[in-house]
A = this chain, B = another copy of it.
Amino acid sequence: MRRQITGFSNPTVKYLRSLREKKHRKVAGQFIAEGLRLLTDARESGHLPEILVMAQGREAHPLLDSLEAEVVAAGGEVIETSADILSKITGKDNPQAVAGVFAEFDTGLHAIDRSTAKIWLVAQALRDPGNLGTMLRTGDAVGAGGLILIDDCADPFSAEAVRASMGAVFTQQIGQARWDEFLPWLRGGAGQLVAASLRDAVDYRRAPYAAPCFLLIGNESRGLPEAYETECDLCVTMPMKGRADSLNAAVAGAVLAYEALAHLDD
């Protein structure tokens, strides 16, 4: 059954709006993803929203009908509201006609099975949620297993990260850990740790990548701490022909990931 909500001051609307802030997401353990395409990707990856929010006046769509039926069958809630209120909830001027509220995933390292993929992306102190989402999207493209976030990173469940991931937030495994938790975990099994370095390092085209290969990208302004690079099995670097001394973090991750893919996929 659909519940109609018409007032901006409705407590459910207030709750949903609160999910735009990280602290409220952490308390609630829920996050929002917008748009039928994202919700369809989510479902096909085994994730159903706990709450489905639809705007009145939306165009009918068979995928949306079946999604609604599945949410109801799973005991979830379906809310119909005005486009204005949905816009208030998502914080976008031109919101999608539908949004879903999902339970946040378990991001403990224990949930990661490294044997499932040849490539894993690892980002340290990545602060930009758009970069984070883009790395998830790249991870999906290269067949990576997921993205492990080290130290204080942007929140992978923020609206901007979810949006930039283009659905990959649902297909890529996400890990979160401090470095001194990550390193023992990594060394507790097979795995090559490769740093994208701004220092003197091996040419990234000629490096001996080995699976499972963990590609480590540092913070947007500072790069990786030198002490972290020291712990890596391999430090690689990309040519920098111009004035700048670094690439955008998501770009560096992608160039490196595609290079590793070419080596490991043969």
- Among B44, B242, B250, the residue within 8 A (CB) of A143 is B242
Partner of A243, one of B164, B171, B247: B171
Does A207 touch B at the CB level, under 8 Å? no
Interface residues of A (CB under 8 A from B): 41, 44-45, 130, 134, 137-143, 164, 166-168, 171, 205, 238-244, 247-248, 250-251, 254-255, 258-259, 261-262, 265
Residue from B168, B239, B248, B265 within 8 A of A242 (CB atoms):
B168
CA A205 to CA B259, docked complex, whole Å: 10
Q: How far is the CA of A171 from the CA of B240 in the complex (A)?
A: 14
Nearest B residue to A262 via CB reads B205
Closest A-B pairs by Cβ, 3 of them? A143-B241, A140-B242, A251-B254
Q: A213 to B129, alpha carbons, bound, how many Å?
A: 33
Q: Are A164 and B255 in contact (CB under 8 A)?
A: no
Chain B: CB-nearest residue to A238: B258
Q: Please tell me if the beta carbons of A134 and B242 are within 8 angstroms of each other in the complex.
A: no
How many of these chains are in the complex? 2
- Cα A171 to Cα B243 with chains together (Å): 8
B141 touching A244, Cβ below 8 Å: yes
Q: In the complex, A142 Cα to B130 Cα: how many Å? A: 23
Q: Do A265 and B239 touch (CB < 8 A)? A: yes
Collect the chain B residues with CB atoms within 8 Å of residue A254's CB: 247-248, 251, 254-255
Q: Which of B166, B239, B265 contacts A261 (CB 8 A)?
A: B239
Min CB–CB distance A45 → chain B (angstroms): 7
Of B141, B247, B255, the residue contacting A240 (CB under 8 A) is B141
Q: Across the two chains, which residue of chain B brings its CB closest to A171?
A: B243
CB-CB under 8 A from A140, the residues of chain B are 241-244
Asked if residues B243 and A44 are in contact (CB atoms below 8 Å), the reply is yes
CA–CA, A262 and B258, complex, Å: 13
Which B residues lie within 8 Å of A130 (CB)? 130
Give me 6 A-to-B residue pairs in the complex whose CB atoms sit less than 8 angstroms apart, sorted by A's number: A44-B243, A134-B251, A137-B248, A140-B242, A167-B244, A247-B254
Inter-chain contacts of A44 with B (CB < 8 A): 243
Rounded to whole Å, the gap between the CB of A52 and the closest CB of chain B is: 21
